[in-house]
Every structure is written in C-alpha cells, then in structure tokens.
Structure 1
Amino acid sequence: MGQKVDTRAIGLDVGLSFMRWLTGAENLHYGLWTGLDCAAENLGAAQAAYTEKLFGYLPEGKLRILDIGGGAGETAKKLIALGHEVEIVVPSPFLASRCRQNAPGARVHQCMFEEFSGAGGFDLCLFSESFQYIPLEVALKEALALLKPGGRVLIADCFRSENYEGVKRSQTVGGGHRLSAFRETVAAVGLKVEAEEDITEAVAPSIDLEQGLFNVIGHAVSRVDEELKAKRRRTRWALAFVIRRMVSERRLFRLNERLNEKKRTAEAFCHFNRYMIFRIAR
C-alpha cells in the first residue's frame, strides 16, 4: 500500500513559496496595516511592522527565548540577529526543516509543545499566533514551568470576543480561545498581565487580502470549468467524478464558500475576535 499523501506539507510548501515570491520572506503571520493600503504589494511592509510591534514588548537585555510554534523560523532569525539565544518548538516536520534553513543559529525541537522536554530556564516563552492551538491552561502552566525567575510569557494571537457566544463556528472568521476564559485562567494559575494591547483593527485587513487571493483562485477555477463545460463535457464529468470520490460534500461546500464567496471579511473578524498582545509575568 502506498504512503498517504501529506496534503498539509504540500499546502505549507506552496504557501511559503508564494509568500517568499511575494514578500521575500516565509512569514505566515498577520500584517499590521496602520498607514498602509490593504494591497498585496504592501504585505511585506505590513508583516515587518507587525514584527516590530511584537518586538517592542520584549524585555530588555539579551534573552534566552523559546519560540513556541515558530513557523518557518523567520521570527527566530530576526531575534538571533538582535543577539538573543533562541530555541524553536514546532510539530510539523516540514516547518522544522524550514526553521533549520532560515534560522540556522536556533535549536529546533520537532514536537508538540505539550511533549517538549528540553531544559527550562528561559527568559521568555513566545507564542506568536500559536497560542490558540494549545489548550489554554496547558499552554500557560507549561510555559510558566519553563521560565527562570523573573521570566515572561509573550503572546500575540487571536482571541474570541463575547460576540462569539452562541454562534456556529462555520458562521465566524478567525479563531482562538475566548478572551474572557483567558483572563480567568491567567489569574487562576498565579500569573498577571503586566502589558497588553488590542491591535484588532490594525491587523484585520489581512483577512480581506487573504480572501481576495482565494477569490482570484476561485475565478480561475470557474473559468476553466466554463471552458470544459462548453468544449470538453466528458473531461469535465470525469474530473467531477474523481473530485466527488476524493472530497466530501461538506468539504466541497466549504471550499466553494472559500473560493467564491466573501464571508470572511475584516469587519466580521473584528466582530467575532480580538487580536491581542499580552506580556505576562508571575
């Protein structure tokens, strides 16, 4: 039996290649659009502005940093260039390989954060758009255990606002833990928020830009389908048959929404989410 096709790795590879072509870097995070038009040519500048904002919350001095869910290693590369010592935790084999390529000065641990067994004593545990993928209490307690005395946790991520309550997930955009639950858990595990900032409106245009890209892809697919319908009916039928066998009706419905509709908007993102930066101490 053949090995299962790793569609996630393929998607990441294509996505990173596109980002590298468009911006010159393999960043997958939101951009900070203050003072910038929401256009593809400004994405690199918006992502650089986001990173600058994030680094403004770093404690002073040279730090030993654990970059949790470090993407393709672009953030770690910038941190190392500033003189910090960085270790990365990332579960994807593909992303781990990109981290080693992009940030050769970082030590890379390919594992889930919950399975991380490296030495503690970090000055900073960094969650840059990775916090939402880890159970809330687990993320905070595990990070706390890895800090040296006086260490900090820095989080930049989406959180669900009170408007998310009672709404079907399929009707919303964005993600993350509920902001109210986060604040309660921070207090419950003996931590305190020493700095925070809401940058929701500044990052929200990233949603419109992303949706615009998917609509362009959807338009291309629709044009090909129109040509096949008019001139190659048997080929079109065969392709449709294969697709229906490989992809569920539910996934096809969601894919059609993604490619051909505009439900994912900056306005919807701001309604259902808060994009927050938190620096947390004991």
Structure 2
Amino acid sequence: MAKEKLNTQALGLDIGLAFVKWLTGAENLHYGYWQGLDVTAANLRAAQEAYTTRLFALLPDRPLRILDIGGGAGETAKKLLALGHQVDIVVPSPFLAERCRINAPGATVHECRFEDFTGTGPFDLCLFSESFQYIPLDRGLPKCLTLLDAGGEIVLADCFRRDSFQPDATLATVGGGHRIGHFRETLAALSLEVLSEEDITEHAAPSVDLEQGLFNVLGYGITRVDEELSAKRPRLRWGLTRVVSLALNTRKRARLDQRLNRQTRNAQVFADNNIYLMMRLRPKG
C-alpha cells in the first residue's frame, strides 16, 4: 500500500495560524500597516487591524454582496459579516476552507481556485487581499468583470514585483507578485478605471523585519543546541548533520540558513524589489 504524501502546505499553515492566533488572538497571516507603531510582536495585532481598517475604507458605504477571493482563514470575512455585508469566500486550500467555515460561519465557502469558480453572482464587490498574486494575470481581473453587478467594484491590495527585480539563483528575495509593468499593461487593456491607488510599501514593509526577527530567534536556538551537541555529543551531532545533508540539497540548505541566521530578508530589501498597492477599480461606463 502506497504511503500517503505529507501535506506540508497544510502543516505549515496550521502551525503558522496557531502561532499567530496565540500571539494576536486572530488567524491573520497578512501584512500589517505600521505607521506610528513600533515594529514589535506586541504591536502585530494593532498593525494588522490598521491594515484592515485601511482596506475597508475602500469599500462603498452600503451593504454589499462581496466575493472574498483567497479569503485566508476567514478573519476578513468575519469582520465583513459583522458590518452587515453578505460574503462568499473562494479558497483553494481544504485546510483554509475549513478554517473559513469555523471563523466565518455566515459566509458561503467555495473550495476551489478562483479560475475554477463557477458562481455567477452578481457581486457588488470582488475583493483581493494578498491573493491577487497567486492568480494568473490574464485570468483575475477579466473574470471579475463577468461577476460584477452594474456599478460593482474591485478592491485589490497586494504586492507586485518592481520591473527592476532580478531573482537570485540561490537565495530567496522577500516579496512576490506579478511584475508591476505587466499588471499595468493588463489593466490598461481592460475596460476598468482606477478610482483610487495608494502605495503603502513603506508602511507594510516592516512586517518583514518582524517575521525575520522570529526566524532569527529560532536560528539562535538551533545554533545553541548545535554548539552543545558539538561539545558534548559529537556523534549524535554528526548523525543529525548527515540526515539534514541527505534530506536537503545545497540550495535548500542555503535558503534555510538564510531564513534562520541571516537578515537578507528585511524591510529595505522588500521595498527595493516590491511595491505594495491598495487599489479601487470600477468597470468603465
């Protein structure tokens, strides 16, 4: 009988959400908005709430039927429901879909990719909150246009790669998303007008420093254990090192070292290579 494949993505999400909930009391994995806040773990919830407040300020001031595309663990949907909106969530991960059903029981959850979503709406608002980057550029906005009611809008908050970005052959560069130039070209070719656009890169980027600080603490702990094993249990240390070298190739070991022991993933590197936008769009006419 074949062994069932480990679902490392679900495992990572489960651990990440559990940690964030322990730290902040909510299952939010999105960036924070750090203007006026010290970048500390104690302020993470306040920064994430400031981000949500800024995001919700882009919504039309009336009860809406909202399609929350890539709705995470349902925390945003829960807040939207509390404001009196009707919410449908599209999320491809079975694990996150279940979290959405628990955290936002009043929402309708569609467990599928947005590209495969078969709902017809119409919706007053299509919402992308750090999910647009995971959808093919030629599919996301065009599909929204088929789902919006007359007068409907799109709210998009996500990071994009700057056109000057050059990937490293070995190490990971923090951030992601579609190339901003390609996005602008796609937007210009569609029947959409930009009602508002705000660059919040400066105020979102400190989230990266906080995340890197956490990994550096883990790295420090692992380094201390390694030092103790080297001094007092060299054979055990050799065996563990051998297991790691067999399980991870050179590139993966370099990236793990980068995550745990270096500061190459930081707010300045994020800002140099990415732009974080909050946008409000509407079909022309």
TM value normalised by structure 2: 0.95
- Helix, strand or coil at the partner of 2:71: coil
Which residue in 2 is equivalent to 1:168? 168
Q: 1:169-248, aligned counterparts within 5 Å?
A: 170=171, 172-248=173-249
- Give 1:77 shift: 0.1
- Helix, strand or coil at the partner of 2:276: strand
- Give 1:242 shift: 2.1
Checking the alignment, whether the CA contact within 8 Å between 2:196 and 2:280 is kept in structure 1 is: yes
- Helix, strand or coil at the partner of 1:86: strand
Q: 1:269-280, aligned counterparts within 5 Å?
A: 269-280=270-281
Which residue in 1 is equivalent to 2:59? 58
Q: Aligned partners of 2:168 and 2:60: how far apart in 1?
A: 39
Which residue in 2 is equivalent to 1:150? 151
Checking the alignment, whether the CA contact within 8 Å between 2:172 and 2:255 is kept in structure 1 is: no
Aligned residue pairs: how many?
281
- Give 1:131 shift: 0.4
Gaps of 5+ in 2: none
Which residue in 2 is equivalent to 1:127? 128
- Give 1:35 shift: 0.7
- Helix, strand or coil at the partner of 1:207: helix
The residue identity in structure 2 corresponding to 1:168 is D
Q: Aligned partners of 2:48 and 2:26: how far apart in 1?
A: 10
Q: Aligned partners of 2:226 and 2:119: how far apart in 1?
A: 52
- Give 1:246 shift: 2.2
Gaps of 5+ in 1: none
- Give 1:162 shift: 3.2
Indicate the larger mover: 171-180 or 42-51: 171-180
**Alignment identity in percent?**
60
Q: Aligned partners of 1:148 and 1:203: how far apart in 2?
A: 32
Q: Aligned partners of 1:47 and 1:108: how far apart in 2?
A: 23
Which residue in 2 is equivalent to 1:114? 115
- Give 1:171 shift: 5.9
- Give 1:167 shift: 4.8
Deviation per residue, 1:124-155 (Å, 9 max, x gap): 11000000111112111111111111111110
Q: 1:27-106, aligned counterparts within 5 Å?
A: 27-106=28-107
The residue identity in structure 2 corresponding to 1:213 is L
Distance 1:171 1:89, change over 3 A: closer
Which residue in 2 is equivalent to 1:19? 20
Output the aligned Cα RMSD.
1.2
Which residue in 2 is equivalent to 1:267? 268
